[in-house]
Structures are given as structure tokens and as C-alpha cells.
Structure 1
Amino acid sequence: MDPSAAGKLKASDFGDFVWGAATAAYQIEGAHDADGKGPSIWDDFAARGKIRKKQTGNVACDHYHRMKEDVALMKSMGLQAYRFSVSWPRVLPDGTLAGGINRAGLDFYHRLVDELLANNIQPYVTLFHWDLPLALERKGGWLNREIVDHFAGYARLMVEELGDRVKHWIILNEPFVFLLLGYGIGYFPPQKRGPAKFARASHLTMVAQGKAARAMAAVRSDIQIGTTVSTLAGEAASNAPRHLAALRRHDAFFNRLYVDPIVGRGYPTEELPFLRKMESIIHPDDMDMVQYPFDFLGINHYSRKTVRSAWWMPYLKFWEHKPLKDVEITSMGWEVHPAGIYQILKKFAEYPEIPALYITENGAAYNDKFEDGQIHDERRRKYINEYLAQCLKAVQEGVNLKGYFVWSLLDNLEWKEGYDKTFGIVHVDFSTQKRTIKDSGLWYRDFLMT
């Protein structure tokens, strides 16, 4: 398909396909200490003033108290599916089964799932979207091997509680992001730094994921289990061999690091020798546990980078160019490059071990402005439209793409960036909690009917 035909897209062109929107617990729920919820590392990070403008997720979109209103909004937009995450410390305040289950927190997710199904919206549940229980972090978090069993216990509990109604489960959201930013460079909580910590946390996260998948499958055989990774399309600065080699390292780091091991290919140590730091912490059965036959892989995709060789860059030996001045960028500074999503879909479609793909996040942050009581976010509508055109191109070439979730349903707390970076197809006035569907959301609603 010619991407220039994006304006003629029809949802029906995608065939048997799931259309939805996505959110994450810390970014929308609020109710940070309500009904027995324990603190997460993000609650603590925000309380210490680490988020832009000293903002917090204490209230956020107040989804915890406005869940029915938000589900009604989804129904009015024609969504077939909703991807949300469970707050681990809302269910297990100290992160462990031994520490006790917070039934009130668990009941919120029971009510949410029931409300979704009553409105013919399929729940897609993410178990971990970065809000680690603070109690576990104080014991070392993803650096402490004990977390493997705690995470598997939490995963098993959630399937025991919701698995009769929730058929699609995503274990992790973007391990690359929370591990690099949290344990590699210290930009996100828990603000650990260094290649050794990054390598150790990465490996133990992968072991925990594998053990969680097995615990979930042992409870129910009728569920689909997947996981979600972040991706970056890449282009070499030129065809010079050194730049092409840099692009391979970039791809190994940003795209393959948390996929190759789960399909039995091991960590990409050839391209990234610093990952050999893992060897001293890998137990004899670890890599067997890391490998798991997932039912699908979730792909989060937003942008691309132009990559060049950089001998001076420690560990990675590549450098990313800033987008050119004439290239469109979002308010996050990310280049708009629709063909990148096609590149990534084709890449992972070549993995025979991965039976199906979903786009579990795709969208754009722009500085929206109210006019006549509405938000005319034409750039966001165009972004989604053009990225979907590239998804359709992949589908028509045989890629087994099963669904698409726009990021995000609601304007929300964009992690350390606070509330200024808005990705929603629905505007939220955080002073009143009023929801207003943006033009992009109205377009998405109309598109889903085609």
C-alpha cells in the first residue's frame, strides 16, 4: 500500500483485528494511598520532588474514582479493547504474598474488568508498568534475586483472580526503559547507575518474567500470555561499514536485548560486549527460565534515530544524531517517521518463535490548545493515520499483526516530564477532571466504524 493513501484507510482493511487504547496505573489512577495501597517507587520519587514542577501522581486522572465514567467514554468511542496495568503495590502493598493481599485494591480491578466486559470491551492487562512496590525496592528491587519469586507470586495471584475473564496478559512493559533509566543512568527511580547494575537488573527481570509466565500458565491454559518491548527504528548515517556496524549495535541495544533471550537466542553479547558482565550472575538454569514460548509480542513504537559510529562512547560505540531541522518532531523531541513502524514490524515478523504481534502503544505528544471548547489536534490525527497506513502495509505483506492500541486514552502524568506532555486522544482538565474527546479521538471513533 502506498502510504500517501493514508487518508483512505479503513479499519475493515485490517481484517480480524483488535482496536483499542492504552494507559498505565501510575499515570492515571491517582488514589496513591487509598484503601490500603502501598507506596511504589514512583510515589516516593514524586514525594521527593523529582518530577518536573514537583508534580505527583497522587491524583493524576483520578481514574480510581472515575473508572465507570472512563469506561463509558471508551464505549462512546467504539473501542473494542483497553490495555491497562495493575498497580502491584495496590494489590500487594509490600510486593509479597506473605505480606498480605489488599482485597480492596484487588476489588478495583475486578470492578474494572467487569465494567469493561459489560460494555463489550476486552481487557488486555499489563502486570508491571514500572510502579515497583517501594518495600521491594528497599530490599534491592530488580537487583535482588528474591524478586523473581515475588513477581511470579504476584502474576499467579492476578491470573487466579481475573483469569476467568481476562484472556490477554502482558507481563512487562518496556523493560529497556525502566531498566536503563532506573538502573543504568539513574534518570528514573530507583536512580541506580552503572553497567553492572543495569546488566544484573536486566537479567533478573528476564528470569522473573519467565517464572511469572510459567506460574500464570499453570493456573489457566486458556489465556494468551505476551510481553511488551520498546522499539526504535534506525538508519545508518551512511553506508560506510563503521556506521552500519553502529546501527547493528543500536538495534541490539534498543530492539533485541529483551527479545532475543526469550526466544532462546541469548543476550546479544557479540554486538554489546559489556553484557558479558551478566555471566557471573547467570545461574545454571536461568537461561532456560528466561526462554518462554509467548503467544504474542507487544511492540511500543514512536520514532526512529539516525545512527553513526562513535568510538568515544563507552560501552555502546554509537551516537544518535538529533533530528534535522526540517524534520517534524513531537513535543517530546521525537522524530515523526511513520515508515519506522513498518520497519520494526517486518523485523520481528522474521522471528519464527513469535507467532503474533500487537502494537501495544503508538501515539504522539503535542501541545494541544482549546478552541471553541474543542481540541483540534490535527497533527496527532495525522500521526496516527500515517503510522496506521504503515501497519496496514505490513499486514498486507503477511505480518501477523493482531491489534493496535493508541497511546494514550487520556492525557496523563508523563512520568518525569509531569503533566505538560500530553499524549491523550481525550483531554483531561486536571483542575476539574473534565474529559473532552479531542479531534483525534473523534477521528479514531469514526475510523473504527469504517
Structure 2
Amino acid sequence: MSIPTGPAGPLRFPDNFGWGAATSAYQIEGAAKEDGRGESVWDTFSRVPGRTRNGDTGDVAADHYHRYAEDLDLMRDLGLRSYRFSISWPRIQPDGTGAPNQRGLDFYRRLLDGLHERGIAPMATLFHWDLPQALQDAGGWESRDTAHRFADYADLVFGALGDRVPAWLTINEPKTVVQNGYLTGHHAPGRQDPDAAYLVAHHLQLAHGLAVGALRASGSDSRIGPALNLHPCYPADDSPQAAAAARLYDSYENRLYLDSLLRGSYPEDLLADLGPQSRMVQGVRDGDLAIISAPIDLLAVQYYTPIYVTADGGTERRWTTSEAEWQQIYPQGMYDLLTRVTRDYGPIPLTITENGLPTPDTLAPDDTVHDAGRISFLRDHLTAVHQAIAAGVPLESFHVWSLLDNFEWDAGYDQRWGLVYVDYPTQRRVLKSSATWYRSVITDGGF
């Protein structure tokens, strides 16, 4: 399938389309030891020598905790209609349980009030990987209890902030926690244990379902859903073996999460591949999938790269990569992914909550940052988005990853993903060419 060719001329998006940008708490906030914030798994992980590039940590990051008002003004000046961010669990519950840290809640109250004052709709993520270290010490996501602690945390946050948040996202990219945190080990908590990994997948999804239940029980009319990074999986050749391998690969990449959330079952081929004695299969209890598949209001989709699967179950590269060597640049994948979700799972409202790339940005002597590669990338991917909408995909909004240059996990500060350049020694913000371009796209409703 290829992206249909539309009529010549400018592409125009629906008038009410939610143009936005995205961030996450640990990547931008800093203030790691201020105002009662507890330690997270990423504080611990980033302090282990060799875990992050240059030994970088999120201790200061983009100092958003202190500079949020300036950043809110940047969002307003860019014309953003939506801002997707995350709430730091250890800033709210330093040990992952118990009474809330009011100073943490107050920060997010100020942030939310500032968004509303500027006419920007908040989209708040409850968990973007910064698990309180105290919960990790008690077993982390391998422990079923952590899912229940997350539900308690979600209920607390809904009660304190819910009147200010029209849309909640529960768990950000459970697949990345599973694959990077428990298979390759290059993300926190740094494990390499496949049997633990898929039990973690189940508990993350159980946590999502319990949080949905907590919001419904609160009587809130806010919307809620998960944020999934989905990778279209293509056979690397025309052989039946490659087709079968791609199908199984897709079950681990996509259907493990989509089927359980939207159909109330795990893929049979995945369960057979794991085997009946796997910790995941053994860990699923009666009623779990009913909790996981509780109706949601929207599905957040994050797209970065396709995967090409060989007959032996390996992968190969087909397209140019960005500075993030894992990311192949393939806009067609955006169209294929969005139309596949709608075709296979029905017309559930969708939002794109992350799409972007790192480019080799430098601050020029005239105080400008020219990132033509990012503009080209966004134009091509938004073209695919536009065609998906034309094909009937109920897509409501698009959020660039990211608003600001930030701490990029194990890559530290070597990769710059932002629309806004952050000069880390001074924390000065400079709009890149892509930010100016994106502002015109928002103003014009397309390009």
C-alpha cells in the first residue's frame, strides 16, 4: 500500500485539528532533588558509569521546573493548541506510595493554570518511565503490586488535578520499558531478562486498566487512553517464511499491546512462542484482561521507524537513518500504521503524541539554528498524516517530539530533538527554523 496522491496544491487540515508538541518530566524538568521530589529509576540508572553518554543525567535537564513560565510563553508564541507532558510520579509520591507531596502537586497546578491562561489544551501523561526507586527496590514492574500502587497514584492525581486536565494518558510506551529496560538493558532499570520482560508488559497494561477504572470511578468527564509506540513490520522479501516471521514480530511489537487493550486478549502466536511456563502467561489472572480492555476514549500513537523482518526472524535496514541509528526515516510507515489501526480495531479516536527526529543542530553566530532536515521530516510525515485523515482515520491532533532539546535517555544530551534549541550552559532558548515553520503551519492550518 502506498500513500495516495492527493490533489495539487496546499494541504489543509481540519479547522479544529490539535497542533501540539510533547515533552516528558525527567527529560526537561531538572530540579531532581528540590521541593520533596523522590528518586526515580532514571536517577539511579544514569549515575551508573557507562549507562548514559558522557555520564549525563536529568538532574538539571532543560530546567523547566524553574523556567516553565518562559516555556509556556514559547508555546503560546508558537501557536500551540495542545501540549502533551508528563507528571513525575516521584515528585508526587517520593516513595511511590502514601500521602502526596503538595509542593509537587503545586508545580503541576501552576503549569496547568498557565496552559489554560494561554489557551493551550493540556494532555497529561501519568507515567513516562520515571518509576519511584523505592518501588523498583520492592520489585518494580515485575511485581503485580506496582500496578496497584500506580492506580493509587493515578487516583490521587485525578483528585488533585483532574478539573484542569481534559485528556489523560496512562502509560507511555510500555513496549520501550519492556524492550529497552528488560531485554537490551540500555534503559532503566537496566535488566536483561526476557522472562521478566513480558511479565512487566502484562503489569504495565494492568496498571493502565486500573488507572482507567480509577478515572471512571471518580466521576470525571475527562478522556483517557494509553500512549503506544507502534512500528509497522514488513516482510523483508516475498517469501512465506519472511511473511510468517513478520507476523510474529508484529505480535511482539504491536499486537501484544493493541489486542489486549482493544480486544481483551493476547495474541495466540505470541503466547505460543513464549510458552505456557513463561512468567507472563503464568502471571495473567482471571479478570485481568477485562480490566486491561476497559473502554478508552482515545488512543495515542507514536511513530518513529518501520521494521523489516527477514525469513529467519532478524531485521534489516532499508532507509536512511537519523542521528538515532535505530530510526529509519520512512513517512509511508505513518500512513500504513494509522490506517492499519483504524482498519483492524475500528474508528477509535486517535492522537499522534510523538513524531520527530534528532538533527545536528548548532547555534550560528547570528543566533539562529537552521534545521532543514527536521522541516523536511515533519513535512513528509504530516503529508502522510493528511492522507490518512483523507482515508477516514479519525485523527484529532499531532504533537511534535519534542518542544525542547532535552535529556535523551541513554544518549544523554548528544541528540537534539527539539523545535527549540536549548543552550545548556545558560539554559537560553532559541527558536529553530523548524519552530518558525511549524508556527506557520499552525497559523495556516497546513502547508
TM-score bracket, normalised by the shorter chain, equals over 0.9
Distance apart, 1:36 and its partner CA: 0.5
Match of 1:329 in 2: 321
Match of 2:337 in 1: 344
**TM-score, normalised by the number of residues in structure 2:** 0.94
1:57-108: CA deviation from partner (whole Å, max 9, x where unpaired): 00000000000000000000000010000000000000012xx211001100
Task: Tell me the matched-pair count.
Answer: 437
Distance apart, 1:9 and its partner CA: 4.3
For structure 2, the residue ranges without an aligned partner over 5 or more in a row are none
Task: Read off the aligned partner of 1:146 and give its amino acid letter.
Answer: D
Match of 1:30 in 2: 30
What aligned pairs does 1:132-147 form with structure 2 within 5 A after superposition?
Answer: 132-147=131-146
Q: Distance in 2 between matches of 1:395 and 1:292?
A: 26
Task: Give the conservation status (yes or no) of the 8 Å contact 2:264–2:289.
Answer: no
Secondary structure of 1:83's match? strand
Q: 1:331 and 1:422, CA in 2 relative to 1: closer, same or farther beyond 3 A?
A: same
Match of 1:314 in 2: none
Match of 2:412 in 1: 418
Match of 1:105 in 2: 104
Match status 1:379 vs 2:379: no
Q: Distance in 1 between matches of 2:95 and 2:347?
A: 34
Q: 1:8 and 1:440, CA in 2 relative to 1: closer, same or farther beyond 3 A?
A: farther
Distance apart, 1:15 and its partner CA: 3.9
Q: Distance in 2 between matches of 1:64 and 1:422?
A: 19
Secondary structure of 1:192's match? coil
Q: Distance in 2 between matches of 1:53 and 1:443?
A: 32
Distance apart, 1:432 and its partner CA: 0.4
Match status 1:21 vs 2:21: yes
Task: Give the conservation status (yes or no) of the 8 Å contact 2:239–2:311.
Answer: no
Match status 1:280 vs 2:282: yes
Match of 2:202 in 1: 203
The root-mean-square deviation of aligned C-alpha atoms, in Å, is: 1.7
Match of 2:213 in 1: 214
Task: Give the conservation status (yes or no) of the 8 Å contact 1:263–1:353.
Answer: no
1:26-49: CA deviation from partner (whole Å, max 9, x where unpaired): 000000010000000001111223
Which runs of 4 or more aligned residues in structure 1 lie more than 6 Å from their structure 2 counterparts after TM superposition?
1-7
1:176-227: CA deviation from partner (whole Å, max 9, x where unpaired): 0012211223221112222210121111111111111100121133110011
Q: Distance in 2 between matches of 1:413 and 1:267?
A: 34
Distance apart, 1:4 and its partner CA: 7.5
Q: Distance in 1 between matches of 2:3 and 2:240?
A: 31
Distance apart, 1:130 and its partner CA: 0.2
**TM-score, normalised by the number of residues in structure 1:** 0.94
Task: Read off the aligned partner of 1:238 and give its amino acid letter.
Answer: D
1:221-279: CA deviation from partner (whole Å, max 9, x where unpaired): 31100111111123211111001111111221112211110123411231453434222
Task: Give the conservation status (yes or no) of the 8 Å contact 2:162–2:220.
Answer: no
Q: 1:178 and 1:191, CA in 2 relative to 1: closer, same or farther beyond 3 A?
A: same
Q: Distance in 2 between matches of 1:69 and 1:9?
A: 33
Distance apart, 1:319 and its partner CA: 0.9
Q: 1:319 and 1:114, CA in 2 relative to 1: closer, same or farther beyond 3 A?
A: same
Q: Distance in 2 between matches of 1:437 and 1:69?
A: 13
Q: Distance in 1 between matches of 2:281 and 2:206?
A: 14
Q: Distance in 2 between matches of 1:2 and 1:293?
A: 31
Q: Percent identity?
A: 39
Q: 1:214 and 1:414, CA in 2 relative to 1: closer, same or farther beyond 3 A?
A: same
Match status 1:67 vs 2:59: no
For structure 1, the residue ranges without an aligned partner over 5 or more in a row are 311-317
